[in-house]
Copies of this chain bind each other. A is one copy, B any other.
Amino acid sequence: MKEELGQIIPSYPMPVALVGTLVKDKPNFLTVAWLSMVSYKPPMIAATLGSHHYTNPGIKESKCFSVCIPSEEMVKSTDFVGMHSGKDQDKSGIFELLKGKTKAPMIKECPFCVECELEKVDTNGMNETFIGKIVEVYADKEVLTDGKIDLSKVKPLLCSQGDAQYYTLGEKYEKAWSTGKDYKV
């Protein structure tokens, strides 16, 4: 017998990212955890933000944004960026900036950054989902294994929304698209 919790936001493990864009020609960042890939070919990623955020008109005007993945060591600056709006706090100088192929600012300290061109905006309730076509992915050599991003080296942050709890990533476990071969129905 399960408990019924109602129409709540369920606390699944959310990936924590810093979304960068230009707002009024100035770099700005916002902490975002409502994040998902939405297209395999071409690769597209979606970031959902409350529609009141300072970032939103910046993405619409500059037509580009970045999704930068902070390491667990960056937890304080990452949380700070999520607690202060660009309306009241200049966030352009918090991080060392990385320049890519678009105008979207990225963060040097982040182990990897995903640069996107805005494809479209979808609205649901009081949120806007920004869908971006991936233009380039930039990663530190130190977090790669055989040329691929290795999350055990990235040490990303996860977040549980209901209890406002950050988590670290755990251990490498079984191999995907593989361990299920042993399963007998």
Please measure, in the bound complex, the distance between the C-alpha atom of A155 and the C-alpha atom of B180, giving whole angstroms. 18
Q: Tell me if B137 and A166 are in contact (CB < 8 A).
A: no
Please measure, in the bound complex, the distance between the C-alpha atom of A98 and the C-alpha atom of B2, giving whole angstroms. 9
Per a CB cutoff under 8 Å, which of B43, B114, B126, B177 touches A83?
A: B177
Per a CB cutoff under 8 Å, which of B4, B42, B67, B98 touches A137?
A: B4
Q: Tell me if B165 and A9 are in contact (CB < 8 A).
A: no
Contacts of A9 in B (CB 8 A): 37, 40, 43, 134
Per a CB cutoff under 8 Å, which of B76, B77, B108, B179 touches A76?
A: B179
Number of interface residues of A (CB under 8 A): 103
Q: Tell me if A151 and B171 are in contact (CB < 8 A).
A: no
Contacts of A46 in B (CB 8 A): 36, 38, 46, 129
Please measure, in the bound complex, the distance between the C-alpha atom of A167 and the C-alpha atom of B176, giving whole angstroms. 10
Cβ of A86 < 8 Å from any Cβ of B? no
- What 1/0 mask marks residues of chain A from 159 to 185 whose CB sits below 8 Å from any chain B CB? 111111111111111111111111101
Contacts of A127 in B (CB 8 A): 38-40
Q: Tell me if A135 and B79 are in contact (CB < 8 A).
A: no
Q: Tell me if A158 and B13 are in contact (CB < 8 A).
A: yes
Contacts of A152 in B (CB 8 A): 167
Please measure, in the bound complex, the distance between the C-alpha atom of A157 and the C-alpha atom of B170, giving whole angstroms. 9
Listed A/B pairs (10) with beta-carbon separation below 8 Å:
A7-B135, A7-B137, A36-B48, A39-B127, A76-B174, A76-B182, A79-B176, A157-B173, A158-B170, A168-B173
Since A13-B156, A15-B15, A168-B173 are in contact, a sample of 15 more A-B pairs with Cβ atoms closer than 8 Å, ordered by chain A residue number, is A5-B137, A7-B135, A38-B124, A40-B125, A41-B126, A46-B46, A76-B174, A79-B183, A80-B185, A82-B177, A83-B180, A148-B162, A158-B158, A167-B171, A167-B172
